[in-house]
Structure 1
Amino acid sequence: MTPLAITAYTATTALGAGRLAQAEALDQRRSGLRPNDFGPAPRLDCWIGRVEGVEEVQLPPVLARWDCRNNRLAWLALQQDGLLDAVGAAAARYGAARVAVVMGTSTSSIGASEEAYTRLDRDAGGERFADDLQRPIVHTPHSIGDFVQHATGLAGPCVTVATACSSSAKVFAQAARLIQAGVVDAALVGGVDTLCGSVLYGFNALQLVSRDKCKPFDASRDGLSLGEAGGFALLERATETDPLQLRGYGESSDAHHMSAPHPQGLGAQLAMRDALARAGIEAAQLDYLNLHGTSTPANDAVEAIAVAALFPEALHAASTKAWTGHTLGAAGIVESVFALIALDTGHLPGTLNATIPDPVCGPQIRLAPERRALHYAMNNSFGFGGNNCALVFARP
């Protein structure tokens, strides 16, 4: 593919707001996980990656119809790292109608819908949402995409991708196709997912939530820790002077099982191979791989098998889920930001909380951090149903 420049990028997670907060926590090996304090008691006995201050965020009056916890986190994330200024400059350069908005999410604003059903208007026979939640847009999957478009004033194509945990990785591929087809000249991509009852109790019902801090790829791992996050990146056609680029993407749907990956990771391998091919590089040229690494027994083992089948031993591959928790539909953008930070700083994170690697892990799976210059970084994001996406980023 023709490289695309990443001219602005940011993430807000349990580690803090903006890129610097992420980079410092990764460097200090300081996790953002904390004992579950979300929602009404009794609460699940687990650890979560909760973003501080979301409840205090105030949307501008003109955006009041989109008000909900998910869109407040989106608004908080939009304010970081000069993102809005960069978006405004792109709109001025190309025209607002020539800049797309492509957002990823897993549950969007379902937390608002949960609240609406717990507060049904009893005067209307318990069949009507309370007046303050009579806002249909926040009860749809497109809530986040519609909100971001109105919050930024962009007027190009607006898409919300909802493919579970690969959602905000696939936005890069969607945007690349829009730009390369000439539909738009630039795209604001990103993803936001917030904690809610459906997420916590849904994953717990699948027996995937650990009572302890997650420890990806550790031999004794027993489940994930859930988190919330928001992040964004601005993509434009690349020039020779652009320091960070999207160089390739690969997508696959192996459809092996509703929630379990293919046992040999065939879909994951296909996505990674296609990303490398589009980037025009060999597997041996990849320096860093941010693994999906959820800390569930099946997912980590399958990903380790797939990585060992494709890459030489020199690759530094690690999971950052123990810093932020699994941020679901926002994982793709957050961990793409981590890959870009690695390209910027030369800091390759290890895998936090893991001490004894699962025997299935090859030497590519690293527990300790490393520092060195790198040119190519990949991010893996795999979702339910075998919906897979791999992205290759580069510093030319």
Structure 2
Amino acid sequence: MAGVLDSFAGRFGRVEPRRTAAAFVTGLLSDIEVKTCWQLAEQAGHARPDAMQRLLYRAVWDADGVRDDLRAVIVDRFGDPDAVLVVDETGDLKKGVHSVGVQRQYTGTAGRIENAQVGVFLGYAGRDGHTLIDRRVYLPVSWIEDRDRCQGAGVPDEVEFATKSELAADMITAAVDAGVPVAWAAADEAYGNSSLFRAHLRQLRLGYVLAVSRSHLVPLDGGKVKVRADRVAADLPASAWQRRSAGAGSKGPRYYDWAWLDDVTTDADPDDSGRHSLLIRRNTSTGELAFYRCWTPQPATLAQLVRVAGTRWTVEEAFQAAKSQVGLDLHQVRRWDSWHRFTTLALAALAVLAICAANAAGEAEDDPSNTGLIKLTVNEVRRLINTLIIQPIRDFAHRLHWSQWRRRHQARARQSHYTRRLKLELQP
């Protein structure tokens, strides 16, 4: 844990916010259920939440700089020239209208349109492990067109509307420019259906395996005809399918049937000197199909493309761990800077778990005595950190002080709400 925290300690000009940041990340790793500034301050032994709130709102530090330092630590541990950058989005359900980027919009978290705030994230997956390395909050058009609303949430004036695929492309470009070792990109069909996103990856010379919809038009016969992806699959003979594993899952190898058309041409840039293909996955039990547009700067094998397609699920695992273990979705912040700061510190806590789990797995492989145990998961690593490192404060006076502080603060808030409502009712 110290290695991750030390990596960005220099981003804080004063010792107070530096210590608070370390306590903040430690609190995110703790076993407290709700991880707001109040609970994190109590866990850290503070008398009030002011220091934690100041860290997110007013303290002087660069969240993007911390992000860069954190990315360097992750690459130092998981760096792999054949690694995969995986992009995806996740939403946090909200009740109000003031949190930056919030509006009624579709989010996979709920599986429907809800009042939500959506963030686009970038994951890094190497052979030794994976975690999240970057983040962007998505601002809908309704926000960008309302500059007063943006100003109220602290959105910088230079921020313009960007689609989710543009945010993803921006994060991938930043990673490549920073020298992150990587050969591939993967994403679901929300990004794979974007021809501009695919073209951007080709300009970076990144191979990709991007999911596309079943109605996606596939250019065949030198681009002279375009056929729906599901129609292409329906016309394939039985001999076109091969059974291969997309990687190990919680219940063993994830076997699917795969078909590969390696003669697909691009309808966007026929002179990119790469190899375009269509990959089709069929569920062995249900027969459900999934489709992937693929491109590689050099010839690739079916095994390579299948591996990258299977790697996309690492971002889902990272989201689950980030939300269940370090409170990625438990923030109660509204402003632009606060969202990026909280999220960056949550990614730091997640990196601690991922690196500790990878280190433990490496030590187990070197140990000649096989105990019959599974590898340490991030969930179990967090339990051990809480048991062996984080010492919760159980002092009676401290707990009583916080109980009184919360009740006093809640009494003031209630009085304020009552006064405001009375004024509204008395207005003509």
Fold agreement, TM-score > 0.5? no
Choose between structure 1 and 2 for higher RCO, CA contacts under 8 A separated by at least 6 residues. 1
Higher helix proportion, which one?
Answer: 2
TM-score, normalised to structure 2's length?
0.27
